[in-house]
Amino acid sequence: MTAQIIDGKAFAARVRADVAVHVTRLKADHGITPGLAVVLVGEDPASQVYVRSKGKQTVEAGMNSYEHKLSADTSQSDLLTLIDQLNTDPAVHGILVQLPLPGHLNEDLVINAIDPVKDVDGFHISNVGLLGTGQKAMVPCTPLGCLMMLRDHHGSLSGMDAVVIGRSNIVGKPMAQLLLGDSCTVTIAHSRTKNLADVVRLADIVVAAVGRPEMVPGDWIKPGATVIDVGINRVDAPEKGADKTRLVGDCHFASCTEVAGAITPVPGGVGPMTIACLLANTVTACCRANGLPEPE
Ligand code: NDP
Contacts of 155 (CB under 8 A, 6+ apart): none
pLDDT tens digit sequence for 115-145: 999 999 999 999 999 999 999 999 999 999 9
CATH class of 31-117: alpha beta
Please tell me if the CB atom of residue 167 comes closer than 6 angstroms to any atom of ligand 1: yes
Superfamily of domain 141-272: NAD(P)-binding Rossmann-like Domain (3.40.50.720)
Q: Which conformational region is residue 70 in: left (phi greater than 0), alpha (psi within -120 to 50 degrees), or beta? A: beta
Is 194 a pocket residue for ligand 1 (Cβ < 6 Å)? no
d(CA 184, CA 245): 37
**Residue 229 · residue 266 · CB < 8 Å:** yes
Average pLDDT over residues 172-198: 98
Domains 31-117 and 141-272 equal at CATH topology level: yes
Which of 135, 145, 93, 141 lies closest to 114 in space, CA to CA? Answer: 93
- Gap between the Cα atoms of 93 and 65, Å rounded: 10
Q: Is the pLDDT of residue 296 over 90?
A: no
- Tell me: pLDDT of 147 over 80: yes
Using most ligand atoms within 8 A of CB, pick from 194, 232, 233, 281 the residue to mutate for ligand 1.
Answer: 232
**Single-letter residue type at 29:** D
Element (H, E) at 9: helix 8-30
Distance CA 271, CA 211 (A): 13
Q: Measure the CA–CA gap between 105 and 97, rounded to whole angstroms.
A: 12
CA distance 206 to 161: 9
- The string of DSSP letters for 195-254 reads THHHHHHT-SEEEE-S--TT-B-GGGSPTT-EEEE---EEEE-GGG-TT-EEEE-SB-HH
Ligand 1 centre distance from Cα of residue 1 (Å):
28
Q: pLDDT tens digit string along 38-52?
A: 999 999 999 999 999
Phi, psi of 119 (to 5 degrees): -80, 75
Backbone angles phi, psi at 183, to 5 degrees: 65, 30
- Whether residue 172 contacts residue 188, with contact meaning beta carbons closer than 8 Å, is answered with yes
Pocket test for ligand 1, best of 141, 175, 191 (most atoms within 8 A of CB): 191
pTM beyond 0.90, yes or no: yes
Amino acid at 67: E
277 lines ligand 1 (CB under 6 A): no
pLDDT of residue 19: 98
Active site residues: 54, 98, 121
| Of residues 73, 72, 71, 95, the one with CA closest to residue 83 | 95
- In this prediction, residue 123 carries a pLDDT of 98
Model pLDDT, residue 158: 98
Predicted local distance difference test score (pLDDT) of residue 169 = 97
Q: ipTM score here?
A: 0.99
Domain boundaries of the chain, sorted by first residue: 31-117, 141-272
Question: Which residue type, as a one-letter code, is found at position 279?
Answer: L
